[in-house]
Protein backbone atom coordinates (compact mmCIF):
# COMPACT_ATOMS: atom_id res chain seq x y z
CA UNK A 1 0.00 0.00 0.00
CA UNK A 2 2.74 2.43 -0.99
CA UNK A 3 0.22 4.99 -2.30
CA UNK A 4 -1.84 5.02 0.90
CA UNK A 5 1.16 5.16 3.22
CA UNK A 6 3.04 8.04 1.59
CA UNK A 7 0.11 10.13 0.40
CA UNK A 8 -1.86 9.56 3.59
CA UNK A 9 1.05 11.12 5.50
CA UNK A 10 1.25 13.97 2.98
CA UNK A 11 -2.51 14.63 3.24
CA UNK A 12 -2.38 14.70 7.06
CA UNK A 13 0.51 17.16 7.22
CA UNK A 14 -0.97 19.44 4.57
CA UNK A 15 -4.43 19.02 6.14
CA UNK A 16 -5.85 18.57 2.66
CA UNK A 17 -9.33 17.21 3.33
CA UNK A 18 -10.03 16.23 -0.26
CA UNK A 19 -6.75 14.35 -0.57
CA UNK A 20 -7.21 12.81 2.87
CA UNK A 21 -10.70 11.58 1.95
CA UNK A 22 -9.46 10.02 -1.29
CA UNK A 23 -6.51 8.35 0.45
CA UNK A 24 -8.71 6.86 3.20
CA UNK A 25 -11.34 5.73 0.66
CA UNK A 26 -8.57 4.29 -1.55
CA UNK A 27 -7.28 2.27 1.39
CA UNK A 28 -10.71 1.09 2.56
CA UNK A 29 -11.91 0.00 -0.88
CA UNK A 30 -8.53 -1.68 -1.46
CA UNK A 31 -9.07 -3.71 1.73
CA UNK A 32 -12.72 -4.45 0.83
CA UNK A 33 -11.66 -5.85 -2.57
CA UNK A 34 -9.07 -8.07 -0.87
CA UNK A 35 -11.80 -9.32 1.49
CA UNK A 36 -13.84 -10.10 -1.63
CA UNK A 37 -10.94 -12.18 -2.94
CA UNK A 38 -10.65 -13.97 0.44
CA UNK A 39 -14.37 -14.80 0.46
CA UNK A 40 -14.17 -16.15 -3.10
CA UNK A 41 -11.13 -18.37 -2.51
CA UNK A 42 -13.20 -21.20 -1.05
CA UNK A 43 -16.84 -21.19 -2.11
CA UNK A 44 -18.22 -23.25 0.77
CA UNK A 45 -20.55 -20.59 2.13
CA UNK A 46 -23.25 -19.02 -0.05
CA UNK A 47 -23.17 -15.81 2.02
CA UNK A 48 -19.39 -15.43 1.71
CA UNK A 49 -19.51 -16.13 -2.02
CA UNK A 50 -22.21 -13.49 -2.53
CA UNK A 51 -20.34 -10.94 -0.40
CA UNK A 52 -17.12 -11.79 -2.25
CA UNK A 53 -18.63 -10.94 -5.61
CA UNK A 54 -19.99 -7.62 -4.32
CA UNK A 55 -16.80 -6.65 -2.45
CA UNK A 56 -14.48 -7.54 -5.32
CA UNK A 57 -15.14 -4.52 -7.62
CA UNK A 58 -15.32 -1.95 -4.80
CA UNK A 59 -11.72 -0.75 -5.28
CA UNK A 60 -11.59 -0.25 -9.06
CA UNK A 61 -15.14 1.10 -9.33
CA UNK A 62 -14.55 3.67 -6.56
CA UNK A 63 -11.35 4.93 -8.19
CA UNK A 64 -12.93 5.10 -11.63
CA UNK A 65 -15.92 7.10 -10.40
CA UNK A 66 -13.77 9.25 -8.12
CA UNK A 67 -11.36 10.22 -10.92
CA UNK A 68 -13.88 10.57 -13.76
CA UNK A 69 -17.29 10.93 -12.10
CA UNK A 70 -17.44 14.70 -12.59
CA UNK A 71 -16.28 14.39 -16.22
CA UNK A 72 -18.75 11.72 -17.32
CA UNK A 73 -21.43 14.28 -18.24
CA UNK A 74 -18.95 15.90 -20.64
CA UNK A 75 -18.05 12.65 -22.39
CA UNK A 76 -19.46 11.99 -25.85
CA UNK A 77 -22.69 10.03 -25.68
CA UNK A 78 -21.75 7.97 -28.77
CA UNK A 79 -18.85 6.40 -26.86
CA UNK A 80 -21.25 5.18 -24.18
CA UNK A 81 -23.62 3.82 -26.82
CA UNK A 82 -20.91 2.03 -28.81
CA UNK A 83 -18.57 0.67 -26.13
CA UNK A 84 -21.22 0.40 -23.45
CA UNK A 85 -23.39 -1.57 -25.87
CA UNK A 86 -20.55 -3.93 -26.81
CA UNK A 87 -19.61 -4.51 -23.17
CA UNK A 88 -23.24 -5.08 -22.19
CA UNK A 89 -23.89 -7.59 -25.00
CA UNK A 90 -20.72 -9.55 -24.14
CA UNK A 91 -21.69 -9.49 -20.47
CA UNK A 92 -25.31 -10.63 -20.97
CA UNK A 93 -24.46 -13.34 -23.53
CA UNK A 94 -21.63 -14.76 -21.40
CA UNK A 95 -23.74 -14.81 -18.24
CA UNK A 96 -26.66 -16.43 -20.09
CA UNK A 97 -24.30 -19.15 -21.38
CA UNK A 98 -22.86 -19.68 -17.89
CA UNK A 99 -26.35 -19.87 -16.38
CA UNK A 100 -27.43 -22.51 -18.92
CA UNK A 101 -24.31 -24.61 -18.40
CA UNK A 102 -23.87 -24.18 -14.66
CA UNK A 103 -24.07 -27.18 -12.35
CA UNK A 104 -24.32 -25.25 -9.11
CA UNK A 105 -27.64 -23.45 -9.61
CA UNK A 106 -28.36 -20.84 -6.96
CA UNK A 107 -30.62 -17.89 -7.78
CA UNK A 108 -29.20 -15.68 -5.01
CA UNK A 109 -25.61 -16.45 -5.96
CA UNK A 110 -26.29 -15.72 -9.63
CA UNK A 111 -27.88 -12.36 -8.77
CA UNK A 112 -24.70 -11.34 -6.94
CA UNK A 113 -22.54 -12.66 -9.80
CA UNK A 114 -24.57 -10.49 -12.22
CA UNK A 115 -24.33 -7.40 -9.97
CA UNK A 116 -20.59 -7.86 -9.57
CA UNK A 117 -20.14 -8.29 -13.31
CA UNK A 118 -22.19 -5.16 -13.98
CA UNK A 119 -19.93 -3.18 -11.62
CA UNK A 120 -16.75 -4.59 -13.20
CA UNK A 121 -17.93 -4.04 -16.77
CA UNK A 122 -19.08 -0.47 -15.95
CA UNK A 123 -15.64 0.28 -14.52
CA UNK A 124 -13.90 -1.28 -17.54
CA UNK A 125 -16.12 0.54 -20.03
CA UNK A 126 -15.42 3.94 -18.42
CA UNK A 127 -11.68 3.18 -18.37
CA UNK A 128 -11.84 2.45 -22.11
CA UNK A 129 -13.93 5.52 -22.96
CA UNK A 130 -11.56 7.86 -21.08
CA UNK A 131 -8.82 6.96 -23.55
CA UNK A 132 -10.99 8.10 -26.46
CA UNK A 133 -11.71 11.30 -24.52
CA UNK A 134 -7.96 12.06 -24.56
CA UNK A 135 -7.47 11.08 -20.90
CA UNK A 136 -4.77 8.59 -21.76
CA UNK A 137 -4.68 5.82 -19.19
CA UNK A 138 -4.27 2.65 -21.20
CA UNK A 139 -2.48 1.03 -18.27
CA UNK A 140 -5.70 1.10 -16.22
CA UNK A 141 -7.71 -0.24 -19.16
CA UNK A 142 -5.38 -3.25 -19.47
CA UNK A 143 -5.65 -3.77 -15.72
CA UNK A 144 -9.44 -3.75 -16.04
CA UNK A 145 -9.15 -6.57 -18.62
CA UNK A 146 -7.17 -8.54 -16.02
CA UNK A 147 -10.00 -7.95 -13.54
CA UNK A 148 -12.53 -9.27 -16.07
CA UNK A 149 -10.35 -12.36 -16.61
CA UNK A 150 -10.21 -12.94 -12.83
CA UNK A 151 -13.98 -12.48 -12.57
CA UNK A 152 -14.77 -15.03 -15.28
CA UNK A 153 -12.26 -17.57 -13.99
CA UNK A 154 -13.87 -17.29 -10.55
CA UNK A 155 -17.40 -17.58 -11.96
CA UNK A 156 -16.43 -20.64 -14.04
CA UNK A 157 -14.72 -22.27 -11.03
CA UNK A 158 -17.72 -21.73 -8.77
CA UNK A 159 -20.38 -22.56 -11.37
CA UNK A 160 -18.78 -25.44 -13.28
CA UNK A 161 -16.05 -27.00 -11.13
CA UNK A 162 -17.17 -26.51 -7.54
CA UNK A 163 -17.16 -30.31 -7.06
CA UNK A 164 -14.01 -31.00 -9.11
CA UNK A 165 -11.15 -30.42 -6.66
CA UNK A 166 -8.32 -30.76 -9.18
CA UNK A 167 -9.71 -28.36 -11.79
CA UNK A 168 -10.97 -26.00 -9.10
CA UNK A 169 -7.47 -25.75 -7.61
CA UNK A 170 -5.89 -25.03 -11.02
CA UNK A 171 -8.40 -22.29 -11.83
CA UNK A 172 -8.03 -20.88 -8.33
CA UNK A 173 -4.23 -20.70 -8.65
CA UNK A 174 -4.40 -18.93 -12.03
CA UNK A 175 -7.06 -16.48 -10.86
CA UNK A 176 -5.15 -15.73 -7.63
CA UNK A 177 -2.00 -14.86 -9.59
CA UNK A 178 -4.01 -12.56 -11.87
CA UNK A 179 -5.69 -10.88 -8.90
CA UNK A 180 -2.45 -10.11 -7.05
CA UNK A 181 -0.67 -8.87 -10.16
CA UNK A 182 -3.70 -6.64 -10.77
CA UNK A 183 -3.95 -5.26 -7.23
CA UNK A 184 -0.20 -4.61 -6.82
CA UNK A 185 0.20 -2.98 -10.25
CA UNK A 186 -2.85 -0.80 -9.63
CA UNK A 187 -1.36 0.49 -6.38
CA UNK A 188 2.05 1.19 -7.94
CA UNK A 189 0.55 2.94 -10.98
CA UNK A 190 -1.64 5.14 -8.73
CA UNK A 191 1.44 6.04 -6.70
CA UNK A 192 3.49 6.80 -9.82
CA UNK A 193 0.75 9.05 -11.25
CA UNK A 194 0.27 10.86 -7.94
CA UNK A 195 4.03 11.32 -7.50
CA UNK A 196 4.45 12.69 -11.03
CA UNK A 197 1.77 15.32 -10.42
CA UNK A 198 3.39 16.71 -7.24
Question: Is residue 121 helix, strand or coil?
Answer: helix
pLDDT at 63: 86
Look at residue 114 in the predicted model and tell me its pLDDT: 93
Instruction: Determine contact, residues 26/193, Cβ cutoff 8 Å.
Output: no
Q: Shortest CA distance to 183 belongs to which of 60, 87, 68?
A: 60
Which H or E element spans position 25? helix 17-41
Confidence of residue 163 (pLDDT cuts 50, 70, 90): confident
Q: How much is the pTM?
A: 0.86
Q: Averaged over 150-159, what is the pLDDT?
A: 91
Angle, CA 97 vertex, CA 93 and CA 100 arms, to 5°: 140
pLDDT one-digit tens code per residue, 119-145: 999 999 999 999 998 888 888 899 999
**What is the DSSP code (8-state) at residue 44?**
T
Q: Can you tell me the distance from the alpha carbon of 62 to that of 178, in angstroms, rounded to the nearest whole number?
A: 20
Among 98-112, 129-143, 160-174, top mean pLDDT goes to 129-143
- The residue-averaged pLDDT of 182-188 equals 88
Read off the pLDDT of residues 6-54 as tens digits, 9 standing for 90 and up. 555 554 555 555 666 777 788 888 899 999 999 998 766 888 889 999 9
pLDDT at 197: 55
Alpha carbon distances (Å) from 67 to 22, 26, 37, 123: 10, 11, 24, 11
Amino acid sequence: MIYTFLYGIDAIFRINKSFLFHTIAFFLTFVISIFGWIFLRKNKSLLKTCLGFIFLPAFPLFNTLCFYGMDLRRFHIEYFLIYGGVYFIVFVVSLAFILLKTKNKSAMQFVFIALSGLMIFSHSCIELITNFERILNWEFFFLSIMLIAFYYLTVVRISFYYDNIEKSKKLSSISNIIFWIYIILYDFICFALAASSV
